[in-house]
A and B are shown apart, each in its own frame.
Chain A
Amino acid sequence: METLIQQLINGLVIGSVYALIALGYTMVYGILGLINFAHGDVLMVGALTALQTMMFLMGVAPGMSPIAMLTIALMVAIPVSMTIGFLMERLAYRRLRNAPRLAPLITAIGMSFLLQTLAMIIWGRNYHTFPQLISTTPLEPIAGVFITPVQVVIILASAAIMIGLSLLVTRTKIGRAMRATAENHRVASLMGVDTNAVIAFTFVVGAALAAVAGVMYASNYGIAHYGMGFMPGLKAFTAAVLGGIGNLGGAMLGGIVLGLVESFGAGYIEHMTFGFLNSSYQDIFAFIILGLVLIFKPTGLLGERVSDRA
């Protein structure tokens, strides 16, 4: 029983991070129909910038409290990632907005390589130790279930950010403009919506979420390096598709479901297949679920918009 609950918590923690990243994919897709493959690498830039800031702060002000240091690191990492998100859209994707669909897709893959290579030049190939400023010492176990403060922060912060984003999209003026642009950006621009600004705003918000996710991810595992964005990026993309790409609620649900499936998959796949499959198939398990969902519900768990978009 305690193993079951522990796996549930493992799944929730990693699922929350996936959900945050998936939101960035799904917002951009909803508005532009573009899959921004460089999104995972924005996460990496966020984490490494935060790391650099912390190193600097530890050098100049060694006695600073961990919370203040983490806050400052985030305050630096978020704008840097936002700038990268903005530049990516402005310099690469905007020029290709009316190009065939494949062109921006390939450009996004190119962007991903570009960011990784730049990060490799700046930060080197080695794995870096990421300071774990929020304690990773487990709290007093409840019924044999362990959870660390950093994991609690990840779950709570993700939930808060997701609620905030939902309010932004449904309750504010810019949110209404985003929804209008997603519906049909030509008509929206005829109605007086500055669609270029809306699209840029979407990229910037997505990048900020990625930066937060990157810092959370690195804080939880205690490491960061130039290729760290690739796997979570891919998983989050899967989560976005699972939940129904283009749909905010779908991305959140997809992220959590994927995290749980992975965790339970690794934990129980051996029992379920009577020892035929083992934990080296944990990734395959997640993709089998994805395949099944797409066969029976091609638009994903909550998606409706995909069919008329694609």
Chain B
Amino acid sequence: MTTAVALPGTLSLGLARGAIELREFFRQKENLIFTVSLPAILMLLLGTVYVTEPAHGQMFAASMIGAGIISTSFVGLGMSVVADREDGTLKRLRGTPMPFTSYFLGKIILVFVSSLFEAVLLLVVAMLRFDVQLPSTAEKWFTFGWVFVLGVISCSLLGVALSSIAKSTRNAAGVLNLPYIVLQFLSGVFLMQSALPESLRVTGSIFPLKWVCQGFRSVFALNDGYAVMEAAGSWELGRIALVLGAWTIAGLVLVNRTFKWSNTAS
């Protein structure tokens, strides 16, 4: 038996999901405060201590943008999938003809838009308070673009994969925040990676956060001479693409294997 009219396409349903996700996201005030504004607030507070000359402001703002988008994608998205499992959203969706890919597209749209909001807010704060300058060449903006996209997609997939471990939003906060906070220290957000012992540096370099931040530092550095401050002494753009690409593939495989529609079904 077939229906007379074809079911709506996966892409158009993904866009519809994205629109409804965004509407729900921006109606929850705690999202606006914690997810969207927190990196800007941290920039303001920590920047007061860290930023003693303009070059520091550039580097710190770049790292904070990196940390911010990982926060919205990895932590924020992971939490929202756990909440969808808890409040019945996923169970309801599974009973409809909406494909899983559309659900995930909607989540990615949510993360892109909220990350963008958050990055813009942070940059505005950094520009007004610490005189941070925006990159001036198309090449730098191009790098910004692909690092942003790959960072968001790889970390979104990892967030969704880890969300299957957490049974409730309460323990999800721990499952997702712990690796995120530890990685911020190991990935050159708060301290330069070159200041860390080798074992910690290597550990940090396995995960996406370091590479996203390094990519953004290459974009915001006043000149390429600052690359010597990186652990490898260069921006390693090729390697950034490679590592983030690998995590994207690993994330896809993990989501495919571990995704659960509900906490009970087996």
A binds B: no
